[in-house]
Copies of this chain bind each other. A is one copy, B any other.
Amino acid sequence: MSAAKESASEARDTGTLGKLMVLLDRVTHADEPMRFTDILAVANQPRGTVHRQLSHLVEEGLLEIDTDGRYSPGLRLLDLASRSWARNEFRLIAEPHLKALQDLTGETVHLGVLRGTSIIYLDKFEGQQPVRMYSQIGNASPVYCTGVGKAALSILPRERVKALVADLAFHRFTANTHTAESLLAEIEEIRKQGHAFDREEHEVGIRCIAAPIWSENLSLVGGVSVTGPAYRLTVERLSEWAAAIQESAERIMEAMRIGLGPRR
């Protein structure tokens, strides 16, 4: 084994696949196509290794390489994901309820689910203009600064929240973004209320209200939210929808019990 590696805290190692996925993540999460050298620099691994790994990813269509030798996410990912999305049971069950909530509020409705320390948005209903599909869907956002994220945390047992928070790196997106302490405090509040707000904690000018959704055994934890521009949506205004959104969450959970309980 080579030396100079023990300092890194990235203890991820599912073998070959794990290493490849780390690389794939790096390239897909970059803002623009990366050249070989750029990737090599952040991968701290030998040139030959990185080169072969990239070649394999390209061969499988997970990455693509343009004529300038720059790597971008591959289209194969789209095909795989479209199945993942179309078949997702949680999303299918929630769909009509999200639509109803959109009709009621006239604002954007999101469905999200907790994965690790992120909220992944599964669906979105926008009111006005033709939706730019995919827009938000599939995006992973930090738990600590999204309504859905905080709502989701509020129904987890306290030890699990603590453990999860310990894993978080709190990035200060806005002046209102939580720290570990303030987050834990607010979660207690949310537990009592049954709903969570996002008071411009992720993005200035954006507020939301969210309610948690969970399965009995907590194998699925997420939430619904109603989101909109801060100039139009004060916290008071959002509060008026608290009952509706919590009811909507309840109905989705009810539908899950029926839909997922007995085989199909």
Contacts and interface: CB of A to CB of B under 8 A. Distances in A.
Interface in A41-79: 56-57, 59-62, 66-67, 72-79
A153 interface: no
Contact of A20 (B17, B85, B115, B219): B17
A80 B130 contact: no
A86 B132 CA distance: 10
A126 interface: yes
A238 interface: no
Contact of A83 (B18, B28, B135): B28
A126 B120 contact: no
Interface string A114-139: 01000010111110001101110111
A32 interface: yes
A75 B219 contact: no
A120 B78 CA distance: 8
Nearest to A260: B66
Interface string A17-44: 1101100110011011000000000000
Interface residues of A, number: 59
B60 A28 contact: no
B14 A82 contact: no
Contacts of A79: 120, 138-140
Contacts of A84: 28, 72-75, 77-78
Contacts of A126: 130
Nearest to A66: B219
B14 A56 contact: yes
A63 to B, nearest CB: 9
A165 to B, nearest CB: 21
Contacts of A134: 81-82, 85-86, 133-134, 137
